[in-house]
């Protein structure tokens, strides 16, 4: 298929590589030239603008947040300038409120719209092991299935409305952050009582939570080192804030999310802005009065 892709970060680059490996023709656009040059060497066509990247019938986008989408696509008249018919697959993690707005804007412009945020880090994008959370009509999802198969291990169709995919993604990130917080608090407690943090994590990750999230983020906590960065702390903070916003809009209390938000803010205030979001664990160690080598 001929498709477009707008927004080439670490995640987007891995996804585009897999589209190319599967034999698809991909037109790409990003505000930075370097990542596009690397993909051009693999066969991608570098578009001059987001509109040019959407000249075929299907376009994917993976921009950082609500404001980036608004600035890059909406405010610049992208909806008016693209060829139609068009199916737009938005892979960004955005607010439920803005996802609803985008659905309305696309419908008014005569453009089919699907929400498809992802679970997985850049290494998963490169390895084609992402899990896609998909909100949209059944017919659109069926049409996209060959493309989803090229970039993921599974696409989970969670509802007919695009915003439902964003809600599931935000709630999932809230759960991941809560897992990081739980491991940090438990190991801070053990450390304060003289128990080796590594022994505790061995027990928890083998006997209680032998799954990818706990093992993956447990490895950061084990070393108290938060690189390589797969998902920066400010982005994690943004997602928890958006989960709380969604809860407030539906009058659903999210007390755990409030705790995690405060830990994220404490980590940000203490200089972890460029670190992986698992560095929110450091807030537990700070509260316990534990130094960096403890």
3-class secondary structure, 276? strand
Distance CA 229, CA 34 (A): 19
Among candidates 73, 52, 78, which has minimal Cα distance to 63? Answer: 73
Token readout for 76 is 């610049």
Task: Using CB atoms within 10 Å of the CB of residue 240, give its burial: 0 to 12 exposed, 13 to 18 middle, 19+ buried.
Answer: buried
The answer to whether 99 and 65 are in contact (CB under 8 A) is no
Token pair, residue 112, equals 């089919």
In the chain, the N- to C-terminal Cα span, in Å, equals 54
Q: Where are the beta strands (DSSP E) in the chain?
A: 2-6, 25-29, 45-46, 58-61, 87-90, 112-115, 118-119, 130-135, 152-159
Q: Which one of the listed residues 84, 101, 154, 169 is annotated catalytic?
A: 169
Whose CA is closest to 250, among 167, 174, 156, 169? Answer: 167
Three-class secondary structure of residue 5 per DSSP? strand
Residue 195, classified by CB atoms within 10 Å of its CB into exposed (0-12), middle (13-18) or buried (19+), is: middle
Q: Please answer whether residues 6 and 53 qualify as being in contact, where contact means their C-beta atoms are separated by less than 8 angstroms.
A: yes
Report which of 136, 125, 165 is spatially closest to residue 13, judged by C-alpha positions.
125
Using only the alpha carbons of the chain, give its radius of gyration: 20
Sequence-ordered list of residues with C-beta below 8 angstroms from that of 138, at least 6 positions apart, any chain: 157, 160
169 has catalytic annotation: yes
User: Mind telling me the catalytic residues?
Assistant: 169
């Amino acid at each position: 298929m001929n498709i477009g892709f707008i927004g080439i970060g670490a995640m987007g680059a891995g996804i585009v590589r897999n589209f190319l490996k599967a034999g698809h023709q991909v037109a790409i656009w990003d505000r930075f030239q370097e990542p596009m040059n690397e993909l051009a060497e693999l066969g991608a066509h570098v578009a001059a603008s987001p509109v040019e990247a959407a000249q075929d019938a299907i376009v994917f986008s993976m921009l950082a947040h609500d404001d980036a989408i608004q600035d890059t696509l909406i405010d610049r008249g992208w909806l008016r300038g693209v060829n139609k018919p068009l199916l737009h697959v938005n892979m960004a993690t955005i607010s439920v409120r803005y996802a609803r707005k985008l659905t309305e804007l696309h419908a008014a412009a005569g453009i089919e719209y699907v929400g498809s945020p992802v679970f997985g880090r850049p290494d998963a994008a490169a390895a084609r092991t992402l899990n896609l959370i998909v909100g949209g009509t059944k017919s659109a999802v069926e049409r996209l299935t060959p493309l989803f198969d090229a970039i993921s291990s599974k696409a989970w169709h969670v509802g007919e409305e695009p915003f439902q995919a964003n809600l599931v993604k935000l709630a999932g990130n809230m759960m991941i952050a809560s897992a990081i917080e739980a491991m940090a608090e438990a190991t801070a407690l053990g450390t304060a009582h003289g128990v080796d943090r590594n022994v505790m994590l061995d027990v928890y990750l083998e006997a209680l939570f032998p799954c990818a999230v706990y093992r993956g983020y447990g490895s950061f906590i084990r070393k108290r080192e938060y690189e390589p960065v797969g998902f920066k702390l400010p982005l994690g903070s943004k997602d928890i804030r958006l989960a709380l916003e969604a809860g407030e809009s539906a009058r659903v209390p999210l007390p755990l999310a409030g705790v995690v938000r405060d830990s994220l803010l404490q980590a940000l205030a203490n200089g972890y802005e460029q670190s992986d979001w698992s560095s929110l664990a450091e807030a537990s160690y700070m509260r316990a009065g534990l130094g960096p080598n403890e």
